[in-house]
Structure 1
Amino acid sequence: MCRVLGITNFNYAKHARIVARFCQLARTGMVMAEDPPGHEDGWGLAFYRNGELVVRKSGASLLDETDQVIGLLEKARTSPVMILHLRKSAWTNTSSTRHAHPFFLGDTVFFHNGVVYDYQGLLPDITLPGLRADARDTEVFFYHVMSGTTGDLGRDFLATAALIRQKHRFSALNCLFSDSRKLFAYRDYTREPDYYSLHKAYAENSCLVSSEPLDDNLRWEMMAQGEFLAIDPGGGG
């Protein structure tokens, strides 16, 4: 249960206001009817600098550490893909840097909003080493994707998502992820469609995907259930 923001062709000079508004969702972001306000169980940031993935994450509230995010992005200035995540944990005793999103392997980085309740059923198919015993649903989800056999990140993700839809219980599979070449976005849910939302917008040469609209000057469109985007920052599709 989280809020996410992804931007292609990120430029801090152009997108600073959107980042600042997203950070405020840690306090004001939409929550489900039975939940207390706030997404303060951790945060995570990913971007690419000189072709290499940079990840920073924390188990603390972003409201207390906004300066860290702003400082990192201000210094980075630009990135082909930038993704930011606010966590509202579904699992007890996991508000820690260890369990904050994103999870990453090499240059591939993965963020998820939703819960896969019976994620343990995915474990037998995972072939990659390194998954720790205390992993929860998102990390297991990611390792299952990365254990795919096609060599195509988008196709391997869709195969895992299809398996979860068919054989597992979940609230939502809303994901943003990247391999440095593309920003991928996916929306699916079984409940609370107003909360498990993903909106897309375009501004100049950037595509923005966010849990909530962040700029009234942009035309935000809700992604459809089951919609999958593979956005090339270079415009190749």
Structure 2
Amino acid sequence: MCRLFGLISADGVPKELLLEFMELAEHGKIGADFGCSKDTTRGHLDGWGVAVMGDENIFYKEGKPATRSEEMRKIVTKISHLKHVNMIAHLRRASDKNTISDENAHPFYAEHGRRAYYFAHNGSIEHYNYIAHGGIIDSKYLFNMLMTSIDEGIMGAIRKMKKDLEYTALNFLLLSNGEIYAYRDAVKCTRYFTLYYATHGSMHVVCSEKLKYGKLKWKPIKNESLVRITEKGVEVLM
């Protein structure tokens, strides 16, 4: 159970918006808020990370709370000074606390066909044993699976994952080459595994929760729906 954030802007990013998302590490919604979990411990404190493409490329992640990281505020300030920004960010609430580490923080990175991809996930694969998979956590396994089928197109890759896996949710953001694919697919606890998008001028945002910054008018992404975000706007693909 995690929190996702993605943004594409041709005219900068408000620092306050980024910080509001990072504060979800302490105050973000959890499954217990909707009766989906008995764990009432607040927060998404098991790691954070950000991937940025555009005027400058930034990729950083830590297996510690975003709100307790000196690097987080430095990076947020740096991003807020950029004009063209394509980014995703993630706050982790680990299913297994034994997997908390810098390596297992999201986003994950891969190259395929001379193209860079960054991936962040919210949800879990049912009956998954990371030890049996060589220490690879389920979200990274999901990313690897997506990359093996990406040449079939994003929708084809998603259909293959849905066919081959049992899961609580496959919510993810995939960033590459000036676009973000945002997918929502929750089997359990659908009121928690949400995604919303909003547009303000040349800024297009997607997030697990409706942030309060400015006058953003959030719209829900329907379950089992995929949207594509570019500088031109938000397009519903499925």
How far has the Cα of 1:10 moved from its partner? Answer: 6.5
Which of 180, 197, 212 matches 2:209?
A: 212
The correspondence for 2:120, drawn from 86, 100, 111, is 111
Contact 2:54–2:178 (CA<8 Å) still a contact in 1? no
Q: Deviations over 1:184-233 (max 9, x none)?
A: 10000011112101011111011110011112621111110111111222
Rounded to whole Å, the distance in 2 between the matches of 1:119 and 1:54 is 31
In structure 2, C-alpha distance between the alignment counterparts of 1:206 and 1:187, rounded to whole Å: 21
Equivalent in the alignment of 1:127: none
Contact 1:46 1:82 in 2 (8 A): yes
- Given that residues 172 and 189 in structure 1 are in contact (C-alpha distance below 8 angstroms), is that contact kept between their aligned partners in structure 2? yes
Q: 2: CA distance between counterparts of 1:10 and 1:96?
A: 33
Please say if 1:42 is aligned against 2:47. yes
Structure 1 distance, partners of 2:190, 2:234, is: 31
CA distance, structure 2, for counterparts of residue 171 and residue 85 of structure 1: 18
Displacement of 1:30 in angstroms is: 0.4
Give 3-state SS (helix, strand or coil) of 1:69's partner.
Answer: helix
Query: Which position in structure 2 is the counterpart of 1:84?
Result: 89
Q: Distance in 1 between matches of 2:161 and 2:54?
A: 33
What secondary structure sits across from 2:231 in the alignment?
A: coil
Partner of 1:129: none
Aligned equivalents of 1:50, 1:88: Cα separation in 2 = 30
Any idea what the Cα deviations from partners look like across 1:48-76, whole Å, max 9, x if unmatched? 1546x4210000111211x4223123224
Distance 2:150 2:202 in 1: 33
Instruction: Say how many residue pairs are matched.
Output: 220
SS in 2 for 1:148: helix
* Corresponding residue SS for 1:99: coil
d(CA) in 2 for partners of 1:100, 1:10:
28
**Distance in 2 separating the partners of 1:178 and 1:139:** 15
CA RMSD of aligned residues (A): 2.3
Instruction: Indicate if the aligned counterparts of 1:187 and 1:197 stay in contact, CA closer than 8 A.
Output: yes
> 3-state DSSP class of the match of 1:147?
helix
Please give the residue correspondences for 1:40-189 in structure 2 after superposition, counting only pairs within 5 Å: 40-50=45-55, 53-65=57-69, 67-76=70-79, 77-78=81-82, 79-106=84-111, 107-118=116-127, 133-148=134-149, 150=151, 155=153, 157-189=154-186
Which residue identity lines up with residue 113 of structure 1 in the other structure?
Answer: N
Unaligned runs of 5+ in 2: 33-37
Secondary structure at the residue paired with 1:48? Answer: strand
Distance of 1:236 and 1:43 partners within structure 2: 25
TM-score by length of 2: 0.84
Post-superposition offset of 1:112: 0.4
- Aligned-partner SS, 2:199: strand
Letter in 2 for 1:178: L
Contact preservation (8 Å) 1:119, 1:168: no
Deviation track 1:122-165 (CA, whole Å, cap 9, x = no partner) reads x9xxxxxxxx8211111111111111262x6xx2x433332332
- Contact kept, 8 Å, 1:57 with 1:97, in 2: the verdict is yes
Match 1:226 to one of 220, 224, 227: 224
User: Residues 149, 29 of structure 1: CA spacing in aligned structure 2 closer, same or farther, 3 A cutoff?
Assistant: closer
TM-score, normalised to structure 1's length?
A: 0.84
Aligned partner of residue 70 in structure 1, secondary structure? helix
Corresponding position of 2:2 = 2
